[in-house]
Amino acid sequence: MKKICLNSINPFSECISYNSVSRVYRIDNDNVFKMFDYGHLISLLDNDYDIEENVLKGSRLVNDSNIVVPSSCVYRGRSFIGYTMPFIDGLSVMNYVNDSMSLGEITNLYSKLEAIVRKKENIVFPDMLTDGNILIDESGEVHFIDFDGLQISNYLTPAMSSGLGNRGIYDFTKYKNGRSFTKELDIKSLIYLYFSMVFDYPMEDLDNGCFDCSNEELLNDLFDYLGIEDNDLFNKVLRLYSDDSNQYLGNTVMDIADNYDLDVINNEYCYVKRLVRK
């Protein structure tokens, strides 16, 4: 991978996204530059997370057109400050999904996402649920663009989507092996993503639980609320909160699309997307 000086890509002016730890700049028609806050990089190094190493070495292990791989590391003097990568002209998955799409169309898109994540056994996508990390281009092709948010083999990332709830609940569980996330987390993320895409429902609410009811009771209420009468889906969601291994949704979502349509109702307080039998 090329190593380039920050001055070689100046000036850059169009900031296309930003947060408290990084900014992404459009630097030409084909590329963007992700620049990290230097204090953030130092803080990560103090906690044994090395984004520079992850980009330089982890990128060699990725050979998948659906994952956008950095093209160069950028330095200010001798200090790593960010990386460049190809620009993807697309919509985030949640902006791509719209009310005009049928349940079958949403299901096909979800299944495409699941297939990509499922086949990458050496990669975990702990920041999958963060809006904007998955883009869909005009041809319907899927792109995962958050490279430093990937855990590639032994190259760890501190990133984890807030859409998975309090990250502290994952320590010492099937979701983490020491400091490494497991593929169990990807399955949970995908199931949460399915509920977001189909129902606009924030599944992380269930991780908060309640003092006087079980996860099974909470799920029964949720499935009644959303009009879901599918035991396979119920059991796969329930496994997320147990010590049992998680299961990909797979054909379960296809069966639901074959037997249901989506309807939107007004329950006085808000509009709710629910399944209705065909």
pLDDT 10s digits, 42-83: 999 999 999 999 999 999 999 999 999 999 999 999 999 999
Per DSSP, the three-state class of 171 is coil
Query: How distant, in Å, are the alpha carbons of 16, 38, 69, 98, 122 from that of 65?
Result: 22, 30, 9, 25, 16
Separation CA 171–CA 176 (nearest Å) = 6
pLDDT value at residue 240: 96
pLDDT value at residue 212: 67
pLDDT value at residue 214: 83
Separation CA 134–CA 207 (nearest Å) = 23
Strands 31-36 and 22-26 come out as: antiparallel
Per DSSP, the three-state class of 271 is strand
pLDDT value at residue 209: 61
Q: pTM of the entire structure?
A: 0.95
Identify the DSSP state of 69. P
Strands 134-137 and 90-92 come out as: antiparallel
Query: In the structure encoding, which two tokens stand for residue 77, read together?
Result: 């003097």
Query: In the structure encoding, which two tokens stand for residue 236, read together?
Result: 């796969």
pLDDT value at residue 269: 75
CA 19, chain centre distance (Å)? 17
pLDDT value at residue 136: 98
pLDDT value at residue 10: 72
Identify the DSSP state of 67. B
Per DSSP, the three-state class of 62 is coil
Q: CA 56, 57, 63, 64: dihedral to nearest 10 degrees?
A: -60
Query: In the structure encoding, which two tokens stand for residue 252, read together?
Result: 């379960």
pLDDT value at residue 29: 82
pLDDT value at residue 43: 96
Check: CB of residue 185 under 8 Å from CB of residue 170. Answer: yes
Q: Omega of the bond prior to 11 within 30 degrees of 0, cis?
A: yes
pLDDT value at residue 28: 87
pLDDT value at residue 207: 82
pLDDT value at residue 93: 97
Residue ranges in the chain modelled with pLDDT below 70? 209-212
pLDDT value at residue 210: 61
